[in-house]
Structure 1
C-alpha cells in the first residue's frame, strides 16, 4: 500500500513546505490578466489530488480508502488549502491570507479530480 501512496505523500510534503515558506523568499510575478501564482496553485493541487486518487485506488490493502477515495481526497485537499491559507495569514512573515488562493486551490482539486476520472474511468 505504501508504495502507491508514496508519490502523493512526497508531493504533499513539498506543497506544505513551499506553502509555509516565508514570503520574502518568494518572487511575485503577474502573468497577463491572472497572477501566475493562481495558475501555480491550480496546478499544484491538481497534481496533489491526482497522485492521492491514484494511490488510494491502486492500493488493495484498505477497501475503505479505495471505495471512498474521491470524497476523502477532495474534502481533505480543500481543507488543506484552507488551513494553509489561514496559517500563512496568521503565522508566516511576508505571507497573507488570500481568498483567491483558496479558490485557485479548489479549482485545482476539481481539475485533478476530473482529469483522474476521465483518464481512468474505465480502469477503476
Structure 2
C-alpha cells in the first residue's frame, strides 16, 4: 500500500479554474462522437447528427435538473449545461470535419 502525505498531495494538485466545466465539455464531446459512430455504423437514422446533438443537449439539461430535485449535495448549474452543450456542438463540428469526404448522408 502506497501512502501519499498530505503535503505532497497538495503540492501536486493542479489548480485550474472551472476544471469541472472542462470535464463536462470533454465528456459530451466524446459522448456525441461515440454515439454518432455507433448510429452511423448501424445505419439506424438518416439525420443522425441532429438527433444526437439535440438529445445530448436535452440529456445534459435533464441531468442538471435532476441534481437539484433528487439530491441534497448537488445543485443544478447553468454553466454545466453550457459546457455540456458546447462539448456536444464541438463533437458535431469534429464529426463534420472528420467525415467531410464521405458520401454518407449525415
**Fold match (TM-score > 0.5):** yes
**Alignment correspondent of 2:52:** 73
Written as runs of structure 1 = structure 2, the 5 A alignment for 1:7-46 is: 31=16, 34-46=17-29
Structure 1 residue 57: deviation in Å?
Answer: 1.3
Q: What is the distance in 2 between the residues matched to 1:93 and 1:47?
A: 29
1:113 and 1:37 map into 2 onto residues whose CA distance is 21
Residues 1:96 and 2:75 are matched in the alignment: yes
How do 1:43-122 residues align onto structure 2 when only pairs under 5 Å count? 43-60=26-43, 62=44, 65=45, 67-122=46-101
Q: Tell me, in whole angstroms, the C-alpha distance in 2 between the residues paired with 1:93 and 1:46.
A: 28
Equivalent pairs counted in the alignment come to 90
Instruction: Give the structure with the higher percent helix.
Output: 1
RMSD: 1.4
Secondary structure at the residue paired with 1:57? helix
- For residues 67-124 of structure 1, give each alpha carbon's deviation from its aligned partner in whole angstroms, at most 9, with x where no partner exists: 1101110110000000000000111221001000000000001111111111122123
Larger radius of gyration: 2
TM-score between the two structures when normalised by the length of structure 1: 0.68
Gaps of 5+ in 1: 1-28
